[in-house]
Amino acid sequence: MDAHVSTEGSATQAAYDALAAYTLTLGDPAFIHQHVVDAFAAQHATEATKPITVAFALIGLYLHVERGLTGRQVQRAHMMLARRSRTWPVFRLPETRGAMTAADVLAAPAGPARDRAISSWSAVVWSAYAEIAPEVAALARAHGLDAWTPGESVSQ
């Protein structure tokens, strides 16, 4: 089990692993696997989770849900952010982070229905962080991501 997620049991990790395997085998240019990684990390973070993990997950969800970026575009944003900063804020973790889970997504039929479920799951998890969403958006702005077009370099 990843050290950055809570230990809720092997079924939770198994659902995530199966979902990750599914998205990695798609070979899709949109790279929806990134949304799975971000939603799971944000949903299962604990006080012991590294700040960079939570920050990247929340920025990824913000960019996907609020800005409509693809997983590939979010991945590029993460790579750019990793080169820019070594210090990340500690975000307050909400008690509940959405009723939809990786297992619910995995229950959707493989293909377009499951892919839509991944986006729905991302939105559910992101909405659980509504109270701190302005802080996440401000962090994205501080790093030039609000006006950023994927593929461009960002000057700071």
Confidence (pTM)? 0.89
Which alpha helices (H) appear in the chain, and where do they start and end? Answer: 10-26, 33-44, 51-61, 71-84, 102-107, 112-128, 133-142
Residues 6+ apart with CB under 8 A from 152: none
- List pLDDT tens digits, range 60-104: 999 999 999 999 999 999 998 998 878 899 999 999 999 999 999
- CA dist 41 and 5 (Å) reads 7
- List pLDDT tens digits, range 117-128: 999 999 999 999
* pLDDT the model gives residue 155: 44
